[in-house]
Amino acid sequence: MEKPVIITVAITGSVPRKTDNPAVPVTPSEQIESTQECYEAGASLVHIHVRNPDESPGSDPALFARVQEGVRKYCPGMIIQFSTGGRGREQAARGAMLSLRPDMASLATGSVNFPTSVYENPPDFVENLARTMLDNGVKAEVEVFDLAMLYNAANLVRKGLLSPAPHVQFVMGIANALPARRSIFDFLRAELEMLLPEATWVAAGIGRHQWEVNQWCLQEGGHCRTGLEDNTRFDQTRLAASNAELVRKIADDCGKYNRRPASPIEARQILNLRRVA
Ligand code: ZN
């Protein structure tokens, strides 16, 4: 029996496209169109950042609302996840769009260095964000950028601020944070199994590690994340033409690992999310 894999696509991210891949969608209509292509290629979860009209990272709930509305219309059942990530955004603004009640939102459970900055998530800020998600019925995807964040997530569960079955993402390959090493991947999975046996998991490989980490996840029964947020290059030699191209690469290779892309309905069951009409 092929085991379904939830393919997450992170369509945009928060690095301005000026020097970057022109295929990155930045306006709400570009984002909706790109998401629909990914949905048709097998993605069942979309991770969303928004951009201001000048393409800088945005936090305006109205922008999130427009993208959410379009994705709901053109990608029925697809799981919508908003980023509460910090790059370019004031802390107070990072949870402002949770009142729109997306299915999910990302939650980094600690601070870490990024290539040229500090990604700051103080304990009280993390707890407040977790509480706001609970209040709005938004499921958290725990972002593990560094080892302590896994144990912090388990503490949040103990405090009742996080479901005992969170979706956990290991983010590997960011300079100054966790390297994309197989031994670390195996260790993180084993620790998660011990700490939060009901959790589901996914790993993201950044940059040239993206495809390698996708393969590890397919092999080990986890879920996959791809998209131009994490990787503007399809491989070492050329730029990816689109988010959908990256999704298709996973969908096409699933069979080799006895996997198949989860439908949105299956993905919602796996993550214990509400069904949509
Ligand atoms: Zn993101």
* Residues β-bridged to residue 47: 10, 81
CATH at residue 171: 3.20.20.70
CA of residue 1 to ligand 1 center, whole Å = 32
Domain enclosing residue 35, as ranges: 3-270
Give the total number of structural domains in the chain. 1
Residue 276 lies in a domain: no
Q: Are 91 and 125 in contact (CB under 8 A)?
A: yes
Name the helix (H) or strand (E) containing 192. Answer: helix 182-195
Residue 110 lies in a domain: yes
Residue 275 lies in a domain: no
25 — phi, psi (to 5°)?
A: -80, 135
Residue 83 lies in a domain: yes
CA of residue 2 to ligand 1 center, whole Å = 29
* pLDDT tens for the 277 residues of the chain, in order: 899 999 999 999 887 655 567 889 999 999 999 999 999 999 999 999 999 998 888 999 999 999 999 999 999 999 999 999 877 677 888 999 999 999 999 999 999 999 888 999 999 999 999 999 999 999 999 999 999 999 999 999 999 999 999 999 999 999 999 999 999 999 999 999 999 999 999 999 998 899 999 999 999 999 999 999 998 776 666 778 899 999 999 999 999 999 999 999 999 999 999 877 5
Residue 139 lies in a domain: yes
Residue 198 lies in a domain: yes
How far is the C-alpha of 225 from the C-alpha of 56, rounded, in Å? 23
Residue 277 lies in a domain: no
Nearest to 243, CA basis, from 226, 219, 224, 257:
226
CA of residue 233 to ligand 1 center, whole Å = 17
Neighbours of ion ligand 1 (CB under 5 A): 83, 85
CA of residue 147 to ligand 1 center, whole Å = 19
Residue 239 lies in a domain: yes
pLDDT at 86: 75
Q: What angle do CA 6, 50, 66 make, to 5 degrees?
A: 85
Q: Is the pTM of this model over 0.85?
A: yes
Residue 208 token pair: 């040239």
